């Protein structure tokens, strides 16, 4: 108790927002603290948003944290003498959350980075509007990497014309750094409500979409399948990557996904089957695991005898069908040309009008269809008269 009374807490403890998602903690030694032969250090305890405790001999400290829900910290004096440690009481300070209506900040924020051939890093972020955000809300995204801050200029909008995606084709993110933090800050504006800002910290390697393995090469050596490839485009050496090898037997329908720690592989296969092969990559031991790359393009290897027979039969049928259609087309074309060269002789038209169009055939056959019967003698005279008039 006697020693504890001799330790005084720091004074003038302040919290200042010095950058996006960055707080400067500052304090001064207590002027009443005796110096003597003690070693003076300070205990710092972060209470929110993420609990953390550490000690330092400095009178200031910088913390990176998402500040949309506020920030709270304690600090106290620590005297060290030989093996004895004596601590003062805590001094407390906090930053209130920034103003804004509840549930108006963005939700479901996610971001992805990619490394290009030129070793530049792109950034793509997506989010959803807050449930209580008015339809006229405009969101604005900023990213901070180390001390560089930039506002997005390339947005994609939803049907209410609200920004819901942002793309940076080139950023100041260093692809060779390991596990640095990327700060994403999204605020907003509306005529009808105060939009609450939102911040989130991303590990740069954890959100990297790893590139696809390159130059995949496949060999068949008797009953063995040999596959080699090059590491993805990345500043990290090949030892930093692991791979997944996808093998699909087209004959049996069996599938395998194998974890491969190196960039070559040998596997015993059924040489009577045909296979499709794909490979994808991810970080392994050099940094935090990122997102698996896309699968490489499909490579086929092996011979499926049943498949080859089917292909041969289908090919023969296809050729036969084409030949038949060609023959029919030639015949039709020939008939068309013949009809053009030798047109049919037209039948001469009868320029004389038939005086008895309705009774002509009946007169030629001497058949009577009238319902009134005449005597046979009169009928013969009528037929004879008609015959003399036509011929």
Question: What integer pLDDT is reported at residue 38 of this predicted model?
Answer: 80
Please give the C-alpha separations between residue 81 and each of 37, 56, 90, 127, 162, in angstroms, as whole numbers. 8, 16, 20, 53, 61
Higher pLDDT, 102 or 84: 102
CATH number at residue 178: 2.60.40.10
Instruction: Kindly state whether residues 225 and 277 are assigned to the same domain.
Output: yes
Residue 131 to residue 102: CA distance in whole angstroms: 9
Residue 36 to residue 13: CA distance in whole angstroms: 24
Instruction: Assess if residue 49 is contained within a domain.
Output: yes
Partners of 39 in the β-ladder: 80
Instruction: Assess if residue 375 is contained within a domain.
Output: no
Among 72, 95, 118, which residue terminates a domain? 95
What is the DSSP secondary structure assignment for residue 159, as one 8-state letter?
A: T
Question: What integer pLDDT is reported at residue 314 of this predicted model?
Answer: 67
Q: Over 80: is that where the pLDDT of 36 sits?
A: no
Nearest Cα neighbor of 250 from 198, 289, 305 is 305
Q: Over 80: is that where the pLDDT of 83 sits?
A: no
Question: For the segment 209-228, what is each residue's pLDDT rounded down to a tens digit?
Answer: 999 999 999 988 888 899 99
Among 158, 181, 203, which residue terminates a domain? 203
Instruction: Assess if residue 338 is contained within a domain.
Output: no
**Burial classification of residue 228, based on how many CB atoms lie within 10 Å of its CB (0-12 exposed, 13-18 middle, 19 or more buried):** middle
Nearest Cα neighbor of 89 from 6, 8, 32, 3 is 8
Question: For the segment 109-128, what is each residue's pLDDT rounded down to a tens digit?
Answer: 999 999 999 999 999 999 99
Instruction: Kindly state whether residues 123 and 173 are assigned to the same domain.
Output: yes
Instruction: Kindly state whether residues 297 and 226 are assigned to the same domain.
Output: yes
Partners of 64 in the β-ladder: 22
Instruction: Kindly state whether residues 63 and 120 are assigned to the same domain.
Output: no
Q: Over 80: is that where the pLDDT of 22 sits?
A: yes
Rounded to 5 degrees, what are φ and ψ at 350? -85, 110
Give the mean model confidence (pLDDT) for residues 93-114: 96
Phi-psi region of 50 (alpha: psi -120 to 50; beta: other; left: phi over 0): beta
Q: Over 90: is that where the pLDDT of 1 sits?
A: no
Nearest Cα neighbor of 211 from 108, 120, 111 is 120
Residue 169 to residue 155: CA distance in whole angstroms: 12
Question: What integer pLDDT is reported at residue 305 of this predicted model?
Answer: 46
Record the tokens describing residue 221, joined without a space. Answer: 């050596």
Instruction: Kindly state whether residues 221 and 285 are assigned to the same domain.
Output: yes
Give the mean model confidence (pLDDT) for residues 58-84: 93
Residue-range definition of the domain harbouring residue 165 = 107-203
Nearest Cα neighbor of 86 from 190, 9, 27, 19 is 9
Q: Over 50: is that where the pLDDT of 374 sits?
A: no
Instruction: Kindly state whether residues 274 and 300 are assigned to the same domain.
Output: yes
Q: How many domains does the chain have?
A: 3
**Which residues contact residue 80 at a Cβ distance below 8 angstroms, ignoring those fewer than 6 apart?**
38, 39, 40, 41
Instruction: Assess if residue 234 is contained within a domain.
Output: yes
Residue 94 to residue 70: CA distance in whole angstroms: 7
Instruction: Assess if residue 381 is contained within a domain.
Output: no
Q: Assess contact for 208 and 286: CB atoms under 8 A.
A: no
Question: For the segment 296-346, what is each residue's pLDDT rounded down to a tens digit?
Answer: 999 999 875 444 445 556 665 766 676 676 776 666 666 655 565 555 555
Question: For the segment 149-189, what is each residue's pLDDT rounded down to a tens digit?
Answer: 999 999 999 888 999 999 999 999 999 999 999 999 999 99
Instruction: Assess if residue 316 is contained within a domain.
Output: no
Instruction: Kindly state whether residues 192 and 219 are assigned to the same domain.
Output: no
Helix (H, G, I), strand (E, B) or coil at 341: helix
CA torsion through residues 47, 48, 51, 57, sign: negative
Instruction: Assess if residue 157 is contained within a domain.
Output: yes
Matching residue, tokens 């485009």: 233
Among 259, 277, 306, which residue terminates a domain? 306
Instruction: Kindly state whether residues 256 and 302 are assigned to the same domain.
Output: yes
Instruction: Assess if residue 300 is contained within a domain.
Output: yes
Nearest Cα neighbor of 216 from 184, 263, 268, 155 is 263
Instruction: Kindly state whether residues 289 and 239 are assigned to the same domain.
Output: yes
Q: Is the pTM of this model over 0.85?
A: no
Proportion of the chain above pLDDT 90, given as a percent: 65
Please give the C-alpha separations between residue 370 and each of 356, 366, 367, 373, in angstroms, as whole numbers. 15, 12, 9, 7
């Amino acid at each position: 108790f006697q020693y504890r009374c001799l330790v005084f807490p720091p004074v003038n403890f302040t919290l200042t927002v010095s950058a996006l998602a960055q707080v400067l903690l500052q304090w001064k030694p207590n002027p009443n603290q005796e110096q003597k032969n003690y070693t003076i250090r300070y205990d710092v305890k972060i209470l929110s948003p993420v609990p953390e405790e550490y000690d330092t001999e400095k009178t200031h400290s910088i913390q990176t944290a998402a500040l949309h829900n506020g920030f709270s910290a304690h600090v106290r004096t620590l005297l060290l003498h030989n093996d004895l440690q004596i601590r003062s009481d805590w001094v407390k300070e906090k930053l209130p959350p920034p103003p804004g209506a509840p549930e108006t900040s963005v939700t479901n924020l996610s971001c992805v980075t990619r490394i290009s051939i030129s070793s530049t890093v792109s950034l793509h972020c997506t989010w959803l509007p807050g449930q209580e955000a008015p339809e006229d809300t405009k969101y604005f995204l900023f990213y901070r990497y180390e001390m560089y801050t930039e506002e997005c200029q390339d947005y994609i909008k939803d049907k209410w014309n609200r920004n819901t995606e942002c793309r940076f084709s080139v950023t100041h993110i260093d692809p060779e750094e390991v596990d640095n933090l990327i700060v994403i800050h999204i605020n907003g504006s509306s005529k009808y409500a105060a939009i609450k800002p939102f911040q989130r910290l991303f590990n740069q390697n954890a959100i990297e979409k790893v590139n696809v393995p390159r130059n995949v090469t496949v060999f068949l050596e008797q009953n063995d399948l040999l596959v080699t490839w090059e590491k993805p485009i990345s500043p990290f050496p090949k030892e930093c990557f692991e791979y997944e090898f996808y093998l699909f037997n087209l004959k049996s329908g069996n599938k395998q996904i194998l974890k491969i720690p190196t960039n070559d592989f040998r596997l015993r296969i059924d040489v009577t089957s045909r296979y499709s092969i794909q490979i994808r990559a991810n970080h392994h031991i050099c940094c935090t695991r990122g997102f698996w790359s896309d699968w490489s393009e499909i490579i086929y290897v092996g011979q499926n005898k049943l498949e080859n027979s089917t292909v041969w039969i289908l090919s023969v049928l296809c050729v036969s069908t084409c030949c038949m259609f060609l023959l029919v087309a030639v015949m039709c074309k020939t008939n068309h040309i013949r009809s053009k060269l030798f047109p049919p002789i037209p039948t001469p038209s009868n320029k004389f009008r038939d005086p008895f169009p309705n009774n002509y055939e009946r007169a030629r056959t001497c058949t009577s269809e009238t319902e009134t019967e005449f005597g046979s003698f009169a009928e013969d005279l009528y037929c004879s008269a008609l015959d003399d008039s036509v011929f």
